[in-house]
């Protein structure tokens, strides 16, 4: 009986470890009436050897009529370095009514290696006010 219990616990541990997601998302709410202020999200990096994909995540309300948006994305690394650039997001327009708000993920960077351990901060600022964006953030998918 003890061997069966130990074997079961081992399998449960392996299954639970396999269910851990390589994805981490950090999102902040913004004013859906008009998003125009900078939003800053934080990602704590522990694995300095992993390669990742970065995606901008948006939750859009029904009244969001646009299919594109230009953001200024500033990245602050743990060692106080900063990089800033403009990035145009293209996403499909809403086609049908749905009871839930739409969540859009737009690729930002692929093959990224965050070489420092610690907190990376991403500041996302629209180039002009936009109506209908309820939340914005960054999704980091670690490749295995």
1-50 pLDDT tens trace: 444 444 444 444 444 444 456 889 999 999 888 999 999 999 999 999 99
pTM exceeds 0.85: no
Element (H, E) at 27: strand 23-29
Distance, CA of 8 to chain centre: 35
Displacement of CA 124 from its chain's centroid (Å): 11
Query: Which residue, 65, 27, 38, 52, is CA-closest to 114?
Result: 52
In angstroms, the first-to-last Cα distance of the chain is 37
Show Cβ contacts of residue 95 under 8 Å, excluding neighbours closer than 6 positions: none
pLDDT at 20 (0 to 100): 52
Angle at Cα 112 formed by Cα 109 and Cα 85, nearest 5°? 45
């Amino acid at each position: 009986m003890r061997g069966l219990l130990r074997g079961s616990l081992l399998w449960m541990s392996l299954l639970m470890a396999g269910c851990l997601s390589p994805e981490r998302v950090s999102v902040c709410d913004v004013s859906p009436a008009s998003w125009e202020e900078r939003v800053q999200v934080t990602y704590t990096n522990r694995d300095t050897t992993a390669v990742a994909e970065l995606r901008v995540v948006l939750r859009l309300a029904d009244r969001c009529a646009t299919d594109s948006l230009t953001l200024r994305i500033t990245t602050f690394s743990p060692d106080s370095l900063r990089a800033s650039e403009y990035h145009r997001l293209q996403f499909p327009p809403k086609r049908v009514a749905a009871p839930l708000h739409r969540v859009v993920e737009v690729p930002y960077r692929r093959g990224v290696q965050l070489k420092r351990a610690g907190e990376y901060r991403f500041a996302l600022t629209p180039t002009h006010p936009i109506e209908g964006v309820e939340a914005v953030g960054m999704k980091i998918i670690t490749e295995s």
